[in-house]
């Protein structure tokens, strides 16, 4: 029988109301299981690993990702797939991080959660969990996993994890991927888009890079941004990488002070990546003078990556190539797990 490891980290899906404050707080997995007797009808052997205590995903960080990567590594040979129950708020960051940490992945790792807790009558959690487990069990005609990559499944959509973004704080359709097609749409039937799903080298063993270097920053440009702010950001002690959220196709103001500060940062081996503030479309630094200026300073294009993918990729590369900025720069400019379009 197919063996699935269900990793419960927390999030709304498993929360209940605190009687004193009325706010939602994470509860343990047994509470979630009681609210979901349907789990017993799943035709797979589902084992559970739970975070104790369960956490709101606002408390996720690189140490928790390292923990998740280690759990998957330790259970990789004995399980056919992994489903991670996770809060929605930072799910796209965790999915992106894992996509880089789990190199040569040949098994599904599907993150899901819900907008309403499992115990609530109108919960979206049941469908999300059951379908995620079914997707993790799905095989192709040769008996191989149909989706051997890190994904997010939410409200009928299976998305590549490092292409997904949370788009709605209230609605059930909480995730989308603007620059990449859905890997599968789950309606009455599953509609897989096989040619958009990663094709791993099946015979290569998984390589788990469990470490991340968190000394990176994401910052957004806005009209009127002041030199003291940019100076403060770029002179952060220990800074290794910057994801700069620029305008449109990768444009930034051409103030002399900004050009100088960015050039100084690049000269100090801080890796600066250009990501657009637009949800859809790509950075193209050759299109306008203001983008070209950034390129000539040595700023790297993030192409059509999400912010979540760009920042976690930087954390991953800064951990692996800690004293080799040139290697970070060169690996940053090639897709590692389908995170941008070529």
Q: Which residues bind ligand ASP (CB under 6 A)?
A: 11-12, 56-58, 87-89, 113, 115
Residue 52 or 58: which CB sits closer to ligand ASP? 58
CB 11 → ligand ASP: shortest distance, Å? 3
Q: Which two tokens stand for residue 114?
A: 């819900």
Of the pair 87, 145, the CB lying nearest ligand ASP is at 87
7 in Cβ contact with 109 (< 8 Å): no
Length of the chain: 342
12 is catalytic: yes
SS3 label, residue 97: helix
The CA–CA distances, whole Å, from 236 to 215, 221, 312, 322 equal 9, 17, 18, 17
Output DSSP code: residue 165: E
> What gap in Å lies between CA 338 and CA 342, rounded to an integer?
9
Rg (CA), the chain: 21
The least distance separating ligand ASP from the CB of residue 17, rounded to whole angstroms, comes to: 14
Peptide bond into 53 cis (omega under 30): yes
- Please count the other Cβ atoms lying within 10 Å of the Cβ belonging to residue 247: 18
Distance of closest approach, residue 86 Cβ to ligand ASP, in angstroms: 7
| Of residues 57 and 249, the one with the C-beta less far from ligand ASP | 57
User: What residues contact 41, with CB distance under 8 A and at least 6 apart?
Assistant: none
Asked if 297 contacts 259 with a C-beta cutoff of 8 angstroms, the reply is yes
**Scanning the structure block, which residue is given the tokens 């603007």?**
178
Catalytic member of 12, 88, 112, 246:
12
Nearer to ligand ASP, 58 or 296 (CB): 58
Looking at the Cβ atoms of 89 and 304, the one nearer to ligand ASP is: 89
Residues annotated as catalytic are 12
């Amino acid at each position: 029988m197919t063996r699935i490891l269900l990793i419960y980290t927390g999030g709304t899906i498993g929360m209940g109301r605190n009687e004193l404050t009325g706010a939602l707080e994470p509860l343990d997995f047994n509470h979630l299981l009681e609210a979901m007797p349907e789990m017993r009808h799943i035709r797979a052997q589902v084992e559970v690993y739970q975070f104790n205590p369960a956490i709101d995903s606002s408390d996720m960080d690189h140490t928790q990702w390292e923990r998740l990567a280690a759990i998957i590594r330790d259970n990789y040979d004995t399980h056919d797939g992994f489903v991670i129950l996770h809060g929605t708020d930072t799910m796209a960051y965790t999915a992106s991080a894992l996509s880089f940490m789990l190199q040569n992945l040949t098994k599904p790792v599907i993150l899901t959660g819900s907008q309403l807790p499992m115990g609530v009558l109108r919960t979206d959690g049941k469908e999300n969990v059951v379908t995620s487990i079914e997707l993790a069990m799905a095989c192709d005609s040769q008996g191989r996993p149909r989706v051997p990559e890190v994904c997010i499944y939410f409200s009928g959509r299976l998305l590549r994890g490092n292409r997904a973004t949370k788009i709605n704080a209230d609605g059930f359709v909480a995730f989308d991927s603007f620059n990449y097609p859905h890997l599968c749409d789950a309606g009455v039937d599953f509609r897989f888009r096989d040619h958009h799903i990663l094709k791993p080298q099946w015979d290569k063993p998984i390589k788990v890079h469990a470490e991340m270097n968190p000394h990176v920053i994401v910052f957004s440009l806005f009209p009127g941004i002041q030199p003291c702010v940019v100076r403060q950001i770029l002179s952060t002690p220990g800074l290794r990488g910057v994801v700069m959220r620029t305008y449109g196709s990768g444009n930034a103001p051409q103030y002399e002070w900004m050009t100088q500060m960015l050039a100084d940062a690049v000269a100090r081996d801080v890796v600066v990546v250009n990501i657009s503030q637009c949800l859809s479309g790509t950075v193209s630094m050759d299109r306008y003078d203001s983008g070209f200026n950034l390129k000539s300073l040595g700023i790297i294009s993030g192409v059509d990556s999400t912010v979540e993918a760009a920042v976690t990729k930087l954390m991953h590369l800064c951990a692996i190539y800690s004293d080799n900025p040139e290697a970070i720069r060169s690996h940053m400019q090639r897709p590692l797990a389908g995170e941008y379009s070529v």
